[in-house]
Amino acid sequence: MEKAYEVPALRRAQDILDVLANAREPVRVATLREATGLSRSTLYLLLDSLQRQHWVENRGDGYLIGVKLFELGNAYVRHDGYQSVFRALAASFVATHDEVVQLATLDGTDVVYIAREDSRRPVRLVSDLGSRLPAHCSALGKALLATLSDAELIELLPERLTAMTPRTVTRRTALLRELEVVRETGQASEHEESAAGLACFAAYAGQTAFGKRLAVSTSIPTGRVEHKREKQIRLAIMRMAVQIGARLASA
């Protein structure tokens, strides 16, 4: 098969943006050089071009992601109209259960968080909008991976999976068995596989008109999870997933 051609300048710009996207404060040029391997002259030329387009912003002696990328990124969630659908249903879920609820899509072997409604109670999460998490260790990811066939999953996932915590399932064969149960029940869950102290429950919500596969979940500190409440939460998440799917189908 013929190898796809990449425009070098775009690849280099993407490398810069990836570094900035993962930083919580302005990144110095020296750090960008080390992370990207670009020469000083090439790096300054790219930074100047990106700054002119407002893709990056200069702050002191470092650089940040620019406001234009925020605008462009938000266009992604406007395409299918699922944001408004999610917001209405998520608000009801939070009002009833006072737990955070999240929406994510599958991108390769990762889930990407694209919407979230917070509860009034504090909880440590890794689900900042736009952030990624390996699909195999998240309830959202399992709900989404279960929509693929075993043949597709074997092609997609390595035999050994990365451990995020000591509880993460790291063998593909074990994950495939778990995903079969997810297909049968319509429910996905994980207990401290992606972050210590958190249990997550998810369900597949369907596919949008433009082909995005969506799943919805809640993340709850393990100290707040007991059998009766877990059952209520699981049912509520499944009900919301069905409602999201129905509204998207009728949009």
Q: Is the pLDDT of residue 5 over 70?
A: no
Q: What is the DSSP-derived secondary structure letter of residue 159? A: S
Instruction: Name the CATH superfamily for 79-250.
Output: GAF domain (3.30.450.40)
Q: Is the pLDDT of residue 84 over 60?
A: yes
For the chain, the structural domain boundaries read 8-71, 79-250
Average pLDDT over every residue of 125-132? 73
| Tens digit of each residue's pLDDT (9 = 90 or more) over 53-70 | 999 999 988 999 888 888
| Tens digit of each residue's pLDDT (9 = 90 or more) over 7-20 | 888 889 999 998 99
Q: Which contacts qualify for 230-239: CB closer than 8 Å, 24 or more apart?
A: 230/199, 230/201, 232/97, 233/97, 233/99, 233/201, 234/187, 234/189, 234/201, 236/93, 236/96, 236/97, 237/93, 237/101, 237/187, 237/201, 237/202, 237/203, 238/186, 238/187, 238/203
Q: Is the pLDDT of residue 1 over 50?
A: no
Angle at alpha carbon of residue 137, lines to 126 and 76, rounded to 5°: 55
Average pLDDT over every residue of 27-50? 92
Average pLDDT over every residue of 27-35? 92
79: confidence class by pLDDT, cuts 50, 70, 90: low
Which of 84-93, 99-108, 159-168 is predicted with the least confidence, judged by mean pLDDT? 84-93
Say whether 79-250 and 8-71 share the same fold.
Answer: no
Q: Is the whole model's pTM more than 0.75, yes or no?
A: yes
User: Do 157 and 136 contact (CB within 8 A), yes or no?
Assistant: yes
Tell me what the pLDDT averaged over the chain comes to. 88
Pairwise CA distance, residues 210 & 130, whole Å: 19
- The amino acid at residue 105 is T
CATH topology of domain 8-71: Arc Repressor Mutant, subunit A (1.10.10)
